[in-house]
Structure 1
Amino acid sequence: MEAVTFGVLGPVTAERAGQALALKGPRHRAVLARLVLARRRMVPVDRLVADLWEVPPARAVGAVRTFVGDLRRALEPDRPRRAPARLLVTEGPGYALRAAPDAVDAWRFEAAVAAAGRLPAGQAPDRLAAALGQWRGPAYAEFAEAPWARGERLRLTELRLRAVERRAELLLESGRAAEAVPDLDAHLDGHPWREEAWRLLALALYRTGRQADALAVLRRARALLADELGIDPGPRLRRLEAGVLAQDPVLDPPAEPAEAAARLWTRATEAYDRAVAAGSAARLETTVGLLRTLAVTGGGGLEVARQQRPAAVAAAEETGDAELTARVIGAYDVPANWTRSDDPEAARRIVAAAERTLAALPDTPAADPARARLLATVALESRGVRSPRGPEAARRAEEIARRLADPALLAFALNGTYMQSCATAGGSPRRAAIGAELVELAARHGLATYEILGHLIRLQARSAAADFTGADRHAAAADALAARHERPLVAVFTTWYRALRRAATGAPYDRAEAGYRAAAARLEDAGMPGLERGLLPLALLGLRLSRGLPPEVDRRADWGPYRPWAEPFALLAEGGRDAARAALHRLPEPPPDLLYEALCCAEAALARALGDRPALRRAQDRLLPASGELAGAGSGVLTFGPVDDWLAAAVSP
């Protein structure tokens, strides 16, 4: 029998061989949609009851079981009466839909968008067009008002809008501007607030010889933004308007197709294969250089670099040449802006290899540059780990780099110092000094990626001080450098910063929440699980607590490493005060990373709600060094509000 496929990009459907299956009533479809949304994970029966009814009837659990039974008969009509279900299965206290990865249109759409990102620019637009063709209407259309569908609907909608705009951008890059115009027109009819879409439409019109129409589009965008939102167009729209008026040659299509670069790459790599022996040390060092370049591209490139780097280090160690191994380890001086590792196990292996190599290096001045790079690597890869070795390695690497007066080595060492600067709250002034030195050093010596890092660190420090005017300048500088040097990951951090800025400056709650959700969408396929996992629910928890709203903790959300701080809130909401208090007492000191203060605030909120004076005092003592700052804003991504509010919090008698 052919497999069942499911549709949620529009009304919820189930089909076999193109024939729709009868799903009975709306609550049957709601159960199916809720299980699809869970992505093969189990959904407890009590969660289904809570999602299906605002006020559950007396026999709600039995009704859910009836709905599941009806769905099973529709999905597997030939299953023997007492045989276990294979698709909609019972698991523990609930149910799971074991659909294949390609059986749900939303999952196929996401996979196709990700695959398009790995294709050459000339092929990607057609792949995106095919992916977008799967949409039949709004995601989970008949459940637009259901709270359980809201986050997924917003996420899928944002992914679709970005896919439309990315396809238009690729068409422009490929010299197919005329093809982009109709889709952008339709796109803006439904979503007139998308500044990037206005920019792309105006540029597409200009490149098809329609300068007057391009100007008219830009003026429409300006009027709409001013009249409806009370804001001016962003810098990209303003620059485009000036360029169109001046007929700036920069706006013209690329002079030669992108395939020229591909041909050059092919010729160079073929020549390298012929000239450099397969087992040579030069190949190993070249491989690390390529991985370093891949890492700063983000997405699949960063993931490949992270996966292959330990193999390159292991291959170098197998040669028995400590100096070669030191060069291979130290050559991966990729600037790091987040203090939690994307792959802790790989980081531990890299640190262990660096320590072995340090022990094997000769104790001579000639080995000092390699020694400093190894120490900086230990400091970087020990991020988020509470151990004296990381700070010590950072200090020694910086000392050697300053003595050698090597700018690139000093920038690498300062990155390690920055990574080890989060042991306690209130570290933003120190990080501000590191960022300032990096900006000055990197600008003077042409170290573009470290100049970007310096601006992002300064952005974090200014955010902690609630100086958003200063932070805006650093965000703009980082974005400009990223555009010039093709560093797409920078936009992830500046987008999160702007969501933080909106939340911290009193934007209405729904707009602040939407800002965080849009920022979280930028993390999809960015290749940074250490940043992505748990960040959105933690940011939304901080938003609610900073506004004096009761916490809402969804246990189904991916809280990642922050789940120990979320679980007590859920227990308390369910009436389990003793269990919540026990969970509070089990909390460790937050790890030494950029979210240290945020987790201290979460602990303070729990202690206050539970009337636990010792726990509240402990959290306040940890927060005290950050007095006068915005709690957690030194991360550049979220805030729990003014630290002083948490220091003044008291347990009611």
Structure 2
Amino acid sequence: MLGTVEVWRGDDRLDVGTPRNREVLARLLLSPGRVLPIARLIDDLWEGCPPPQALSSLRTFICRLRRVVEPPAQEAGRPSVLITEPLGYVLRVDEAALDSARFEQLLQQARGAADPSTVLGLVDEALGLWRGPAYAEFTHALWAKGEVARLQELQLGAVERRLDTLLTLGRHGEAVPELEAHTRAHPLREEGWRLLALGLYRSSRQGDALAALRDARGYLAEELGVDPGPELRKLEAGILSQTADLDLPPAPAPVAIRRPVARLRCLGRDDLLATAGAAMADAESGSGSSMVFDGEPGVGRTQLLRGVEALADMRGFQVAWAQAHPLEREYDYGVARQVFEPILYSMPESERHELLRGTVQPAADIVWHNRPSSGGPDGLHALYRLAVRLAERAPLLIAIDDLQWCDPGSLRWLAYLARRIEGVPLVVAATRATGVPAGDDQLLESLCSLFAPVCLGGLPAEAAAALAAELFGAEPEPAFLASCLHETGGNTFLLAEHLKAQATGKRSTSIARWAAGQLRHAGPGAATLARAVATLDHAADFHTVADLAGLADSQAASALSALVGMGILRDGSPLRFTQPVVRQAVLDGVPASVPRFALTSIVTPEPPGSPVRSGVPGPVGG
């Protein structure tokens, strides 16, 4: 549990009630799926001094909670979530719906990952579930103290794992300031001091590294009366002797910097792959070009870009891949750094130094030393020259997924590059989700006007039949396939997930999560408006929908424009969903008919007008 107790059904945060109601729910969630005896529950809630009416009070709390947590369609008198057993109560909830369980699952995946970039992504996602101290609402409760200590230790370990991984990736400039703050906050954790000293040493600050170790020795002696442990003593000796073991391990040879993971063939998109192949042939002759794969969310943009990546690799291109993300839109030149950093890291230091000399030097500050403020005209030109120098070594493909979430600095660099690419053996291939609001729509449109547009629509019937045959191992019945195409509009993601659901006879939770994610991306009011359209169906004219959603006409019009632009709703009256499966997912809620229990660490309420948190991430990109 990562803070106050919150219960979510789809996009709606439900009102649990009084603090005592939330405490009862929190205590039950400590043991999901297991019977909690009444006597134990009373003892925990009143800490061994229950009042005479404790049992009746507890039953009142349980009754109130049932009104919140049970599905709306649940038959009265037959609870399926909060159940009374002969000896107590049991809360039947999927642990995967708990933020605390998700946090531990991500850390477990990080422990099993070998690639540092993968580890960093998993740990960042895990730490993103925290917004404050564990069990902030119940720090007074004796029953919570053990779990608070356990989760806090896991969090601190995750923070240190993240900082260790940054050092492994050579990102000392990012890690050292965070390590300085971490050691000030937790001066008795020797691992923090070890990482700080190592980061300072690798930043050519040997004196500061030794000073940090002296500070650690002083804290430990003053607070605990002990000397530093063997790891700190070993590190200090290594720094004094400048042992090579403390340097970054040598980078692998720059062969196949990034191996593509996608199949070369993309169902129903072979003609678009051929277009990309023609652009690569021109680049091999010294004439570069840029293209953008434009399509509604879910049509398969990312899959097609992976196919382009695989084709480029087969032709001997260097491949530089970047994935834009809405959470990193404020990180200036973040996408440019994703493009260049893996290539630079794979080079021997002498070769990298030679590549970054002269007019390219300002680019080194941006993508290698992590000083985005070094941008401006000189930075744009330096990044352009860096791309040219790399392309002169071997033809280069720069692949960027989800351009709509690209940071402004990288957008300006791509525009600068696209206007000067004609004589360079370089192909820029990007994807953009049609209609998804961008951070700077005007800047994005200006960039895309410089790219050759390649539009993606729904899968044709032949490709859909091939997809179904791959999933089922046999040709589908024509009527069944036609029904699936009607339900999904031929949207690649929706069709694949709908086919899988049909095979199991269950509704697709993947479609439900995807729909929730797209409604979040559509902006404020979109989820509420979509629910109103789904509810009204044939009676969904604009003003009735706006009234039901409780939105002013201007707010409803803005949300409707986004939903139509993204292909979720059709334009016209009555308003209708483009894909019936999405309407069903919206009606069902996310996940379908099951309350969303999210134990987050949000201590303060959401500010007015902020997007509603669904707690269920959706896929990003096509």
Normalising to structure 2: TM-score of the pair? 0.39
Q: Give the TM-score normalised by structure 1.
A: 0.37
Name whichever structure is richer in helix by fraction: 1
Q: Quick one: higher RCO (CA 8 Å, sep 6+), 1 or 2? A: 2
